[in-house]
Amino acid sequence: MYRIIENVFSNVSKYALESSRVYVDVTKHDNRVKIEVKNISKEKLNISEEELMQRFVRGDKSRTTEGSGLGLSISKSLAELQNGTFNIYIDGDLFKVELEFEICS
């Protein structure tokens, strides 16, 4: 779980619009918890959600920041290994990650 959250926030720190806010919502419904992370990207993302989740793909091919393009793909795989879901949504420059997991008792 740590690696998933670390990858999401690493992505935010590299690509969020400077001096903008990051919103984190954690909600519980029945036996599931949902974590949403939303931020505004520096630039409009010119890629689909599906493409962005592929390994070695970055949202803007002209970016000069460090990164391999593996973080979101790894996060999705780790969430699925824990029987959770990992989804991203893009709307212009709005970038949103939704994680959902069953609460262990």
- What's the CATH code of the domain at 91? 3.30.565.10
- Write down the pLDDT at residue 49: 75
- Write down the pLDDT at residue 68: 47
Q: How many independent structural domains does the chain possess? A: 1
Distances from the Cα of 78 to the Cαs of 72, 82, 91, 93, in angstroms? 10, 6, 25, 26
Examine the pLDDT at 2 and tell me if it is beyond 50. Answer: yes
Angle between helices 2-15 and 71-81 (to 10 degrees): 160
**What is the rounded distance in angstroms from the CA atom of residue 16 to the CA atom of residue 18?**
6
| Nearest residue to 38 (alpha-carbon basis) of 79, 9, 65, 63 | 9
Type of residue at 99: L
Domain that holds residue 40: 2-102
**What is the rounded distance in angstroms from the CA atom of residue 34 to the CA atom of residue 28?**
6
Q: Is the pTM of the predicted complex or chain greater than 0.85?
A: no
- What pLDDT, in 10s, does the model give residues 92-104? 889 999 999 999 8
* Residue 73 pLDDT class (50, 70, 90 cuts): confident
Examine the pLDDT at 64 and tell me if it is beyond 70. Answer: no
* Residue 3 pLDDT class (50, 70, 90 cuts): very high
Examine the pLDDT at 57 and tell me if it is beyond 60. Answer: no
DSSP letter assigned to residue 17? P
Cβ(69)–Cβ(56) under 8 Å?
yes
- What pLDDT, in 10s, does the model give residues 9-36? 998 998 899 999 999 999 999 999 999 9
